[in-house]
Amino acid sequence: MWDTIVKVDLTSRPFRLIGDSGDVYEGDTLVIATGAQAKWLGIDSEEPMKGKGVSACATCDGFFYRGKKVAVIGGGNTAVEEALYLTNHSPDVTLIHRRDSLRSEKILQERLFAHKGVTVLWNKEVREFVDGGGNAGLVALELEDTVTGERSRLAVDGGFVAIGHHPATELFRGHLELDSDGYISVETGSTRTSVEGVFACGDVADKVYRQAVTAAGTGCMAALDAERFLAAAEFAELAEAAE
């Protein structure tokens, strides 16, 4: 079954989901696994360079740059964590930030600044991912100083955009409790959301690990939680009927 859900009604059971086809789907439980998408810089050269040296996931693609020079773009926790992770593969990691200070947690900054394999470039914005042509892929980043406007180039083999993620939760805003970053809030140790019978798994509820294996694991948890919820509801109905 293929459809795009455009509206939900979680106020009563069965829950109602309306697709852009006009079809209405009903269920006594709902498992949400809509994921999250990486934020990108939005510059012209970015899209054609994805997979040719430009990535938004160091843990996914870092291995391919073993022994090569890489750069991470960003200044928050994600950027610092990815830069530190990449030092496991690359002897030369550059963190590029458009401001003169990082937004990440202090403990992460201390680890970053203490690492000899990481260089930080302050007040710089990436204006272009430079394609070497043919099968060369990414060969450099065109940078602009945010203070002076001066342009420069940094030779790299890989560029990792790490400026955060967009959880796909707009459909559920006003229906479920979301955290300050827009991720669905779930109870600790489960996939239960703020609405009984609704469960969330994967990156839509996880802004820390964001890996296929952890998403699959929480998917299994959500299936078990939903199964137990339905079993408990069925038992309650039978008990009520027996009275």
Amino acid identity, residue 185? S
Identified catalytic residue from 3, 20, 60, 181 = 60
Identified catalytic residue from 61, 157, 206, 225 = 61
Confidence label for 243 from pLDDT (cuts 50, 70 and 90): low
Parallel/antiparallel/unpaired status of strands 92-96 and 118-121: parallel
Mean pLDDT of 17-38: 97
- What percent of the chain is modeled with pLDDT above 70? 96
Q: Give the model's pLDDT for residue 185.
A: 98
Q: What is the pTM of this model?
A: 0.81
Amino acid identity, residue 126? V
Task: Please report how the helices 77-86 and 106-114 are oriented relative to each other, as an axis angle in degrees rounded to 10.
Answer: 30
Is residue 145 annotated as part of the catalytic site, yes or no?
A: no
Per mean pLDDT, which range of 83-87, 92-96, 168-172, 239-243 is the poorest? 239-243
Note whether 134 and 152 are within 8 A (CB). no
Please name each of the domains of the chain with its CATH number.
Answer: 38-161 (3.50.50.60), 169-238 (3.50.50.60)
Among candidates 151, 128, 150, which has minimal Cα distance to 53? 128
Tokens of 72: 């991470």
Say how many CA atoms lie within 13 Å of 220 toward its Cβ.
5
Q: Which tens digits make up the pLDDT trace of 94-117?
A: 999 999 999 999 999 999 999 999
Q: Which tens digits make up the pLDDT trace of 58-82?
A: 999 999 999 999 999 999 999 999 9
Among candidates 12, 13, 16, 15, which has minimal Cα distance to 24? 16
Q: Give the model's pLDDT for residue 240.
A: 65
Confidence label for 161 from pLDDT (cuts 50, 70 and 90): very high
Is residue 57 annotated as part of the catalytic site, yes or no?
A: yes
Cα 105 from Cα 114, distance rounded (Å):
15
Note whether 125 and 98 are within 8 A (CB). yes
Q: Give the model's pLDDT for residue 241.
A: 64
Overall residue count recorded for the chain in this entry: 243
Confidence label for 211 from pLDDT (cuts 50, 70 and 90): confident
Q: Give the model's pLDDT for residue 35.
A: 97
Mean predicted lDDT score pLDDT of the chain: 95
Is residue 60 annotated as part of the catalytic site, yes or no?
A: yes
Residue that is written with structure tokens 């019978």 in the block: 197
